[in-house]
Amino acid sequence: MRATPAPTSSPAQFQFDRTRHAAPQVFEHLRDQIISMALPPGTILSRPELAEQYGISQTPVRDALIRLGEEGLVDIFPQHATVVSPIDVALATQAHFLRRSVELEIVRTLALQADPVLVERLRATVARQRMLLELQDLDEFSATDQAFHRELYDAAKVPDLWGLVRRQSGHLDRLRRLHLPIPGKALAVLRDHDAIVDAIASADPARAEAALRAHLSGTLANVDDIRARFSDYFR
């Protein structure tokens, strides 16, 4: 069973920010398409074709593909092809371990501070997620999910760790994106986010840690079901 491709912009529609170099923008755009499953595992990425579609030279495309390869999101076969890589559950499990370890300390720190401004900001983010779920906009729901967690890193004054965790989480994030449309998952995300915010607001670090641990365990606990639904996407 294949996932329904997520709506996304094609390279031809992509608008470059002319104040930035092209390579990182191509990397970010392709990465977003891979994580959203708009470019599912097995998709062949042709450097000449991508360069033509983006309207740029092959050099920034090559650099972007190399970065994707470093994150394990593509397999590069020299002189042959670059292919979106299958999901590797072992790498997803390692990323989960890293993210859980970091975020447990983050929510503990934030619960000890119990900043009402942060709590209000987090509640607004969850409210936006709830609206997006009502609209069945799972792409924006997923992006807002990431924004919720990034707010936690920023509030704990460890924003650079977000980048580190994100670079290691490509396989985990694709697994989560396949899990999201399965009935009950999106509602569980909202419940978990509410529980995390409530614990932070109550200055209860133990409850915040328990809520975060439960939240991050959901996808890997269902990995066998996800793999059965999308077997051709896995290594």
For the record, the structure tokens of 112 come out as 């000890």
Rounded average pLDDT over 71-98: 95
Exposure of 176 by Cβ count < 10 A (0-12 exposed, 13-18 middle, 19+ buried)? buried
Whether the predicted pLDDT of 68 surpasses 80: yes
Whether the predicted pLDDT of 1 surpasses 50: no
pTM of the predicted model as reported, rounded to 2 decimal places: 0.89
Query: Which residue ranges does the chain devote to CATH 1.20.120.530?
Result: 89-233
Q: Who's near 37: CB < 8 A, 6+ residues apart? A: 3, 5, 6, 174, 177, 178
Query: Which residue ranges does the chain devote to CATH 1.10.10.10?
Result: 11-84
Of all residues in the chain, the percent with pLDDT exceeding 70 is: 96
pLDDT at 17: 85
For the record, the structure tokens of 16 come out as 């470059």
User: How many Å apart are CA 93 and CA 167, to the nearest integer?
Assistant: 14
Q: Supply the Cα-derived Rg of the chain in whole angstroms.
A: 19
Residue 118 pLDDT class (50, 70, 90 cuts): very high
Could you tell me which residues are beta bridge partners of residue 81? 77
Question: CATH fold of 89-233, please?
Answer: Four Helix Bundle (Hemerythrin (Met), subunit A) (1.20.120)
pLDDT at 15: 83
Query: Each residue of 158-181: pLDDT tens digit?
Result: 999 999 999 999 999 999 999 999
Whether the predicted pLDDT of 7 surpasses 70: no
What CATH number labels 11-84?
1.10.10.10
Kindly tell me the number of DSSP H helices and DSSP E strands found in the chain: 11, 3
CA 24 vs. chain centroid, Å, equals: 17
Whether the predicted pLDDT of 111 surpasses 60: yes
